[in-house]
Amino acid sequence: GKDRTYADIAVPLLGKIQNLLSEFPILFAFEQGKILEKIGICSQINFVRYMQGVRTLGADQKLFIKDLCFGKVPVRIYQPKAPSSSQRRGVMFFHGGGWTLGSVGKITNTHENLCRSLARESDSVVVSVGYRLAPEHKYPAAYEDCLNATIHFMRNTEHYGVDPARISVCGDSAGGNLAAAVSQTLAGRSDLPKLRAQILIYPHLQALDFNLPSYQQNQGVPLLFRERAAFFALQYLNGDTSHMEEVLEGSHIPIDIKLNYKKWVSPDNIPEKFKARGYKPYVLLDCPTVVYETMKRFCEPNLSPLLAEDAVIQQLPESFILTCEFDVLRDDGLLYKKRLEDNGVRVTWYHLEDGFHGIMNFSNSDWMSFSSGERGLNNIVNFLKSL
């Protein structure tokens, strides 16, 4: 096919920049993929997936790492080698990548580093889930895979030396969306152990409003541009980006529905200090019926966890939320923090004043790292150790 032809021709030429691109897959490979798609060589998403898999890490002296399947869902398990006198914590990890990128078979070097660090530093068993990717597998495929893998793990903890009362879900970006959705679903299950915590790293939690202050302030800030955030959400929803303009301007959801959710999704719920870098209120636009028919599932909590009812939010476990100042998704995290706290859920919030979207992917990188990312990782590890 076209992808194979491109790989056969271009691999020798790309060798010198593979290391760079594997560390910055979104910044560089996405733009190159757009060009290649336009000239008909390969799809943009397939090119980024290819470039994300160009490097792999070797064995880890402190961890057993094994690829398995939980039912039909591929997973990678990271278990500390050191013997333990008691059962360990378990962490279900859902990787980011806009629901379209990453896997455990060819997982990005950055998420591999993060999973290894979490397992090593917190002395936990980490299970990274290789959920099905959009647009080939649309919503709710990724959510269902993450939910089913988590339930499987909960019912088989004895095989991994894990305490069933100390299982947490964790995810970054789109993975944070999946962790929040899985946590909400499991909150109402009486036949399973209760989750000990949810750890949401700059999560994507709603698709109603792409004009919140953080979207306006950071619309052109790497690694996640405003337009790209909408693109990924549409890829996950139905694989159709033809209504991108309506999504960005806010005319993809009827005014009455937006007003109904304004109590939860509104700039009014964002602390004023986060508007200091600039915010311009916008006029609500109505939505053509034909557009809403293709967008209405954006209002489902399994896709937009920020829209869950209070009765669900009240049952959620202790939570850790990490946000970054220079991130379009900052306000999603702030709004969810408020919802959790308003409903009596204990929240540990850590805000990286000098952080940007994707910064955690550079933790323990052998090529480039940021001190704020290391601080973020340390805070997550300390939170896990407290559970």
User: How far is Cα 215 from Cα 249, in angstroms, rounded to an integer?
Assistant: 12
H/E stretch holding 94 reads: strand 88-94
User: How far is Cα 214 from Cα 324, in angstroms, rounded to an integer?
Assistant: 10
84 is catalytic: no
Query: In Å, what is the CA distance from 168 to each residue of 64, 157, 282, 311, 320?
Result: 20, 13, 38, 21, 11
User: Which of 145, 172, 209, 327 is the catalytic position?
Assistant: 327
Q: 């894990």: which residue's tokens?
A: 162
SS3 state of residue 166: strand
Query: In Å, what is the CA distance from 177 to each residue of 34, 94, 188?
Result: 26, 9, 18
Is residue 348 within 8 Å of 201, Cβ to Cβ?
Answer: no
Angle at 201 between CA 31 and CA 74, to 5 degrees: 75
H/E stretch holding 319 reads: strand 318-326
| Total Cβ atoms within 10 A of residue 229 | 26
Q: 């209120």: which residue's tokens?
A: 281
357 is catalytic: yes
SS3 state of residue 53: coil
H/E stretch holding 149 reads: helix 141-155
Q: 């109505």: which residue's tokens?
A: 286
Tell me if the bond preceding 281 is cis, omega within 30° of 0.
no
Angle at 312 between CA 360 and CA 268, to 5 degrees: 65
Which residues fall within 8 angstroms of residue 365, CB to CB, at 6 or more apart?
A: 23, 110, 113
User: Which of 22, 122, 168, 173 is the catalytic position?
Assistant: 173
Is residue 63 within 8 Å of 80, Cβ to Cβ?
Answer: yes
User: How far is Cα 143 from Cα 2, in angstroms, rounded to an integer?
Assistant: 30
SS3 state of residue 327: coil
351 is catalytic: no
Which residues fall within 8 angstroms of residue 342, CB to CB, at 6 or more apart?
A: none
User: Which of 103, 122, 357, 363 is the catalytic position?
Assistant: 357
Catalytic residue annotation: 173, 327, 357
